[in-house]
Amino acid sequence: MLEIVSTILGPVETNTYIVADTQTKEAVVIDPAWDGHVLAAEVRRRGWRLTAIWLTHAHFDHIAGAAGIAAQVQPPPAVALHPADLPLWEAQGGAPFFGMRIDPGPRPTIALAHGQTLHVGRFVFEVRHAPGHTAGHVVFYSPEEKLAFCGDVIFMGGIGRTDLPGGSYKTLMHSIQTQILTLPDETRLLSGHGPETTVGQERLENPFLS
């Protein structure tokens, strides 16, 4: 079974997801927003083995917990990020822009690319490049489980902001049309902020898509 533990962390209430194959006990953390030691402790409490950190993008509120995880887990898990967001990662995810400083944690060693497949135990996820919020934003999609971790591309009733460096409203809307709305309506969307929704619900009710 694929088990998902969702936690809201950090100063802007970012959704962090621990995703595990309960049979193989392998787990990944998607977007460790904050308090990496808390995430590492939860993985340990459940008897899982953390194999990787997957980043939908490199804004500070999605990466700030990586250093804390690396300090608690040995060997430190590999970090996956699209190369187009590496400059943003190197700039602390834009934290100084908001008057903060963070340690972004271990340097990404898995270069994500559109169409690439990743594994959590027996479960397969497809990487879908969905820029617009940032240049290197990706979505992690599981056709088998009918779910997508979509970061800050789309939310229940909203879309990702495009006013930060690297953002583009036109590009984001194209990503939503080609990488989100092409998925089956029953696909669950687990966003970077706010409650879970579905492709079908957003197709019908999201005011930005009408």
Q: Which of 50, 190, 24, 47 is nearest to 106 (CA)?
A: 50
CA distance 30 to 77: 12
Contact 208, 133 (CB under 8 A): no
CA distance 98 to 77: 28
What are 92's two structure tokens?
């602390």
Cis peptide before 11 (omega within 30 of 0): no
Q: Which of 138, 155, 152 is nearest to 198 (CA)?
A: 155
Q: What's the pTM value of the predicted model, to 2 decimals?
A: 0.97
174 half-sphere exposure, CB direction, 13 A CA radius: 10
Q: Which residue has the tokens 């970012």?
A: 14
pLDDT along the chain (210 residues), means of 10: 98 97 98 97 97 98 98 95 98 94 97 98 98 98 98 98 94 98 98 98 95
Can you give the pLDDT at residue 128? Answer: 98
H or E segment to which residue 41 belongs? helix 36-45
Q: Which of 90, 179, 111, 166 is nearest to 133 (CA)?
A: 166
Contact 29, 62 (CB under 8 A): no
User: Can you give the C-alpha Rg of the chain in angstroms?
Assistant: 16
Q: Classify burial at 25, counting beta carbons within 10 Å of its beta carbon; exposed 0-12, middle 13-18, buried 19 or more.
A: middle
Can you give the pLDDT at residue 210? Answer: 80
Contact 123, 149 (CB under 8 A): no
